């Protein structure tokens, strides 16, 4: 004899249970939407930051001592892409698969001369260089006075005694197409953040 199993009647959920479940589902949907939006926003911001840092404002780390006391090894700086530079600007440029950092002393067509004591003259006027600890003639094997070629800049390091720069035929003047950019701001270490000039 076959007996049918007793069916337990199903209870319908109460209104409170339905509302609670509905709130949980809505919360999950809102949470997932907020999470997706946050992730997309962070990815977009990171992509924009990388593009800006690569194409328009590269961040560079300083190596060596040729720019002391203005810049020291290990410091990080932000540069801005530019094609026009003024006397006194600090620029970064490519040299033999490296990036060097020096100060613009003279632009295209200017005449540069340097005394034995290290005083620099541009177009027969002595430069006021408050950023130097002490002037020095340094490693100079160019014939002075020297006229800067077209589309090039004569650059010197701030630590004149040790810097290898436009005074040497090894480096020479910097052509505009080799310039990475003008240094704008020191950003590291944090306690030394300041604009550069």
Enzyme catalytic residues: 66, 102
Query: How many other CB atoms are there within 10 angstroms of residue 82's CB atom?
Result: 15
How far is it, in rounded angstroms, from Cα 69 to Cα 156?
14
How far is it, in rounded angstroms, from Cα 103 to Cα 151?
16
Which residues are paired to 179 by β-bridges? 93
Residue 49, judged by CB atoms within 10 A of its CB (0-12, 13-18, 19+), counts as exposed
Give the list of residues 6+ apart from residue 127 with CB closer than 8 angstroms, or none. Answer: 87, 105, 119, 120, 121
How far is it, in rounded angstroms, from Cα 119 to Cα 188?
31
- Would strands 98-106 and 90-95 be described as parallel, antiparallel, or unpaired? antiparallel
Place of tokens 């339905």: 18
How far is it, in rounded angstroms, from Cα 45 to Cα 137?
48
């Amino acid at each position: 004899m076959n007996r049918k199993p007793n069916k337990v009647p199903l209870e319908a959920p109460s209104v409170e249970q339905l509302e609670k479940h509905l709130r949980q589902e809505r919360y999950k949907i809102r949470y997932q939407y907020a999470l997706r939006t946050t992730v997309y926003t962070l990815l977009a911001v990171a992509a924009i930051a990388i593009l800006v840092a690569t194409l328009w404002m590269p961040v560079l780390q300083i190596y060596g001592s040729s720019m002391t006391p203005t810049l020291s090894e290990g410091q990080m700086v932000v540069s801005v892409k530019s094609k026009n530079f003024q006397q006194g600007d600090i620029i970064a440029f490519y040299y033999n698969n490296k990036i060097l950092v020096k100060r613009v002393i003279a632009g295209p067509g200017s005449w540069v001369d340097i005394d034995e004591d290290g005083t620099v003259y541009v177009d027969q006027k002595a430069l006021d260089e408050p950023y130097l600890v002490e002037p020095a003639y340094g490693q100079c094997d160019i014939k002075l006075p020297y006229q800067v070629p077209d589309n090039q800049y004569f650059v010197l390091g701030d630590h004149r005694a040790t810097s290898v720069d436009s005074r040497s035929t090894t480096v020479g003047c910097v052509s505009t197409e080799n310039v990475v950019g003008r240094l704008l701001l020191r950003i590291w270490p944090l306690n030394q953040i300041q604009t550069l000039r």
